[in-house]
Amino acid sequence: MTVDLRSDTITKPTPGMLEAMMAAKVGDDVFGEDETVNALEEKLAGLFGMEAGMLCPSGTMTNQIAIKCFTQPLDELIADQTAHVYRYEGGGIAFNSAVSTRLLNAPRGILTAGMIEPEINAENIHYPHTSLVVLENTVNKGGGSCYTLKDIEPIAALCKQHKLKLHLDGARIFNALTQTGDSAASYGQYFDGISVCLSKGLGAPVGSVLLADQATIKYARRIRKVLGGGMRQAGFLAAAGIYALDHHVERLKIDHAHAHILAGELSGLSWVTHVVPVETNIVLFDTVEPAEIVLAKLEEKGIKANSTDKHRIRFVTHLDVHADQVEYAVACLKALS
C-alpha cells in the first residue's frame, strides 16, 4: 500500500470532477467570455462577501498580484517570517513589486494587532512606507494553525486605522473555516484581498482565485496579463473548481480527523520527541533520529512524507488518503523503532 502524506497538492481529480470538466462550457477568458470561469469567480466572490474574483494558474500568482495591487515600489509589507508569500514565492515580493518585507516571529505564525502595530513605520524619509499586512490562514509552516474571525477583527481595525491594506493568503482557508466554524461570508468585510486555492485540499488539479473589489480586480487582470497568466479556455479548470466547492468542502473534516488520529498515535511512540498540536490537516512532529533516516524507513513501507527541518517531519492529509490508508500508516508507525 502507498500512503502519500507529502502534500495536499498531490490529489488527482476524481471521476466526478473529470466528468464536470469534460462537460464545461468554455470561451476565451482573456475576452471575458468563458462562462464557467465567470461562474467560478462569481461563486467564490459571493461566498466570501467580496465584489469580484479572478482565476489564476497558481496561489503564488494570486498572492503576488494582490501584493502588486496593494503596494507601490519602495513600500513595505508586514508578514510573519513563515509566510508563504515571503519564503516560498521565490523572492517575488521584491522582484514583482519592488517592496521590502518586515518579518515578525509569531507563535505558529499567528499574528496579533499588538505584534503588528510597533512594526508600522512612521512617516519618515528614512523608512519604507508601510502599506500592507499579509495574513495566512491556515499557516502552512505553523502546522495548519488557524486564525478565527475574532483574531482577525482587531488586525483589520488596526489596518484601517493606519490606512494599510490587508491581504489573506487563504490557500487553505476552507480548512480554517472547517476548524473554526466561522462563516466565509463574514471574511469579505475584513480583507482587501483574499487568495483561495482550489488545488490544495479541495482537490482541483489547477487554480487559485483572487477575490477583491471591482476596481482592484480590474487592475489585477492587467497584472495577470503582463505576467503571462491570461488563460483562454480555462473553463475546463474552473469546472473542476466549481465541482470542488460543491463536493469537497464538507469532507475536509475527514482530513482533520485523520490528522488527529496520526498525531495521537505519534505522541505515544518512543522515537518521537514532540508532536505539534493538530488544528487542521497538517501534522508536524520531531524525531530522535534525523528526519532523513526516519523518512527512508517510512518510504520502505510505502509511506511518503517530507521533512521541514533536521529532526522534523510533516504529514499532510487530503482527499486521496483514505481511512484504510491511515490505519495502515498507524500500524507502520507503531512498528518503527
> Smallest distance, Å, CB 89 to ligand PLP?
7
Q: Which is nearer to ligand PLP, 120 or 281 (CB)?
A: 281
Q: Which is nearer to ligand PLP, 216 or 281 (CB)?
A: 281
Q: Check binding of 99 to ligand PLP (CB under 6 A).
A: no
Give the count of residues interacting with ligand PLP (CB under 6 A). Answer: 13
Q: Which is nearer to ligand PLP, 120 or 166 (CB)?
A: 166
For ligand PLP, give the closer residue by CB, 11 or 208: 208
The answer to whether 60 contacts ligand PLP (rule: CB under 6 A) is yes
How many Å apart are CA 217 and CA 236, to the nearest integer?
Answer: 22
Binding to ligand PLP by residue 58, rule CB under 6 A? yes
Q: Does 317 bind ligand PLP (CB under 6 A)?
A: no
- Of 60 and 333, nearer to ligand PLP (C-beta) is 60
Binding of ligand PLP at residue 166 (CB under 6 A)? no
Q: Closer CB to ligand PLP, residue 120 or residue 245?
A: 245
24, 197, 259, 336: residue in contact with ligand PLP (rule CB under 6 A): 197
- Distance of alpha carbon 119 from alpha carbon 103, whole angstroms: 9
Residue nearest to ligand PLP according to CB distances in the complex: 59
Question: Residues 220 to 279: which contact ligand PLP by CB under 6 A?
Answer: none
Cβ atoms of 109 and 136 within 8 Å: the answer is yes
For residue 299, what are the CA distances in angstroms to 145, 237, 332, 333?
A: 27, 32, 11, 11
With binding defined as CB under 6 A, does residue 84 bind ligand PLP?
yes
From 54-62, 113-121, 272-280, 283-291, give the range in contact with ligand PLP by CB under 6 A: 54-62
SS3 of 214-264: the string is HHHHHHHHHHHHHCCCCCCCCHHHHHHHHHHHHHCCCCHHHHHHHHHHHHH
Applying CB under 6 A, among 82, 140, 180, 317 the residue interacting with ligand PLP is 140
208 interacts with ligand PLP by CB under 6 A? yes
Alpha helices (H) in the chain, listed in sequence order: 15-22, 35-48, 59-70, 84-87, 92-97, 113-116, 149-161, 173-180, 214-226, 235-247, 252-266, 291-300, 323-335
- Looking at the Cβ atoms of 71 and 140, the one nearer to ligand PLP is 140
Tell me, what DSSP letter sits at residue 205? Answer: S
Q: Is 118 exposed, middle or buried (0-12, 13-18, 19+ CB in 10 A)?
A: exposed
Q: Quick one: which of 96, 102, 103 has its CA closest to 73? A: 96
Q: Which of 210, 233, 207 is nearest to 220 (CA)?
A: 210
Binding residues vs ligand PLP (CB under 6 A): 58-60, 63, 84, 136, 140, 169, 171, 197, 199-200, 208
